[in-house]
């Protein structure tokens, strides 16, 4: 397929709402988009001493991002910010200095939380990081999902109540990626 998107999910939890949201969104993408969930649970903790000999999982992550037309971030909020596991992955793929995998890649940010502000602060913090990483990041529509019963159907598809809204996000993200590649 023509447009491969690297997807970074900010939760390692088996039943993660954000992973379900990501997979529900994949189904809303067009046929020429392929979404690849990047593995981040086997990355070591970032240590700058290792920049000259990055571990195999770090190299893999960087290749997945480098080879993608865009990057999608789907994240919960931990203590009003970006979960450490996601920040760790970002730090890895941004290094060594001058060899970031992210530069210029169009980004989309979305997230869900059981809290009423639905990951808004985590997303805002993430946007600061993406600006520094020189990633053109879609500004609108913002989506802060307050996860409640019925968000997903039994088949894992996004429920009727949110589908139109999330389809709009996906359509805009697809345009965003195409206009930056």
Q: Which of 77, 123, 130, 151 binds ligand FNR (CB under 6 A)?
A: 77
Q: Which of 5, 6, 8, 16 binds ligand FNR (CB under 6 A)?
A: 16
Site string for ligand FNR, 51-70 (x = CB under 6 A): --------------------
What's the CA gap between 145 and 21, in Å, rounded? 9
What's the CA gap between 93 and 96, in Å, rounded? 8
In this structure, what token pair is assigned to residue 174? 């697809």
Sequence-distant (≥ 6) Cβ neighbours of residue 102 within 8 angstroms: 65, 71, 90, 93, 94, 130, 133, 134, 135
| Smallest distance, ligand FNR to C-beta of residue 14, A | 9
By beta-carbon proximity to ligand FNR, the closer residue of 57 and 115 is: 115
Q: Which of 1, 2, 13, 67 binds ligand FNR (CB under 6 A)?
A: 13
* Structural contact between residues 177 and 70, judged by C-beta atoms closer than 8 angstroms: yes
Q: Which of 29, 76, 106, 108 binds ligand FNR (CB under 6 A)?
A: 76
Site string for ligand FNR, 115-154 (x = CB under 6 A): x---------------------------------------
What's the CA gap between 142 and 138, in Å, rounded? 9
DSSP 85-119: HHHHHHHHHT-STT--S-TT--EEEEEEESSTTTT
| Smallest distance, ligand FNR to C-beta of residue 39, A | 16
By beta-carbon proximity to ligand FNR, the closer residue of 16 and 100 is: 16
Contact flag: residue 22 with ligand FNR (CB under 6 A): no
What's the CA gap between 169 and 119, in Å, rounded? 16
Task: Provide the binding-site residues for ligand FNR, judged by CB under 6 A.
Answer: 11, 13, 16-18, 76-80, 113-115
């Amino acid at each position: 397929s023509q447009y491969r998107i690297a997807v970074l999910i900010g939760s390692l939890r088996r039943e993660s709402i954000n992973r379900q949201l990501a997979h529900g969104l994949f189904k809303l993408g067009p046929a020429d988009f392929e979404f690849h969930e990047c593995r981040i649970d086997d990355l070591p903790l970032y240590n700058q001493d290792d920049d000259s000999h990055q571990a195999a999982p770090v190299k893999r992550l960087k290749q997945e991002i480098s080879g993608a037309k865009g990057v999608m971030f789907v994240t919960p909020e931990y203590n009003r910010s970006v979960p450490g596991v996601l920040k760790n992955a970002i730090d890895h793929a941004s290094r060594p200095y001058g060899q970031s995998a992210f530069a210029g890649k169009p980004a989309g940010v979305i997230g869900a939380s059981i809290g009423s502000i639905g990951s808004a602060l985590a997303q805002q913090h993430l946007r600061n990081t993406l600006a520094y990483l020189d990633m053109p990041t879609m500004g609108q529509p913002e989506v802060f999902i307050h996860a409640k019963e019925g968000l997903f159907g039994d088949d894992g598809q996004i429920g009727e109540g949110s589908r139109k809204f999330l389809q709009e996000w996906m359509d805009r993200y697809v345009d965003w990626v195409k206009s930056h590649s």
